[in-house]
Amino acid sequence: MNELKNSVRLIGRLGDDPKVRNLGNGKTVVNFSMATTEMYRDSEGNKKSETTWHRIVAWGQPATIAEKYLKKGSEVAVEGKLTNRTWEGKDGEKHYVTEINVNSLLMLDKNGNSGEKSVMQEPARQDLPF
């Protein structure tokens, strides 16, 4: 049996335009926030929704796709792993953040008037079950 370790798959919408940083070594990193929303009914039968925000980090091909095609409100599916970072701020206080480091990205928005979905992902990962 193939065991998955530290694997995250989410479908949601961007909360803001991607932030692109070109690093000195020729690499590009793209960061964006993504919202996932769960719909459910409470004990009285009323429809409720709960939104969770995620910090997303993309490198390589997923970063190129995000930089070129994504914007606030874009619907995407991401697959990656959870990473935790710690740093010390200018004030000397420690900061903690949990991010999803993307290795596959699919664009799920409809293209123009065709009604077809646009799917772009890292070429090496054609087997996503989204």
pLDDT single digits (tens) 2-11:
666 899 999 9
Q: Residue 6: what pLDDT? A: 92
Pick the CATH number of 8-39+48-107 from 3.20.190.10, 2.40.50.140, 3.20.20.10, 1.10.10.10: 2.40.50.140
The pLDDT tens digits for 34-57 are: 999 999 999 999 999 999 999 999
pLDDT value at 130 more than 70: no
Q: What pLDDT digit, counting tens, does each position of 60-79 carry?
A: 999 999 999 999 999 999 99
Q: Identify the band that residue 23 occupies on the pLDDT scale cut at 50, 70 and 90.
A: confident
Q: Could you read off the pLDDT of 69-106 as tens digits, one per residue?
A: 999 999 999 999 999 999 999 999 999 999 999 999 99
Q: Is 34 exposed, middle or buried (0-12, 13-18, 19+ CB in 10 A)?
A: buried
| pLDDT one-digit tens code per residue, 111-127 | 543 334 444 444 434 44
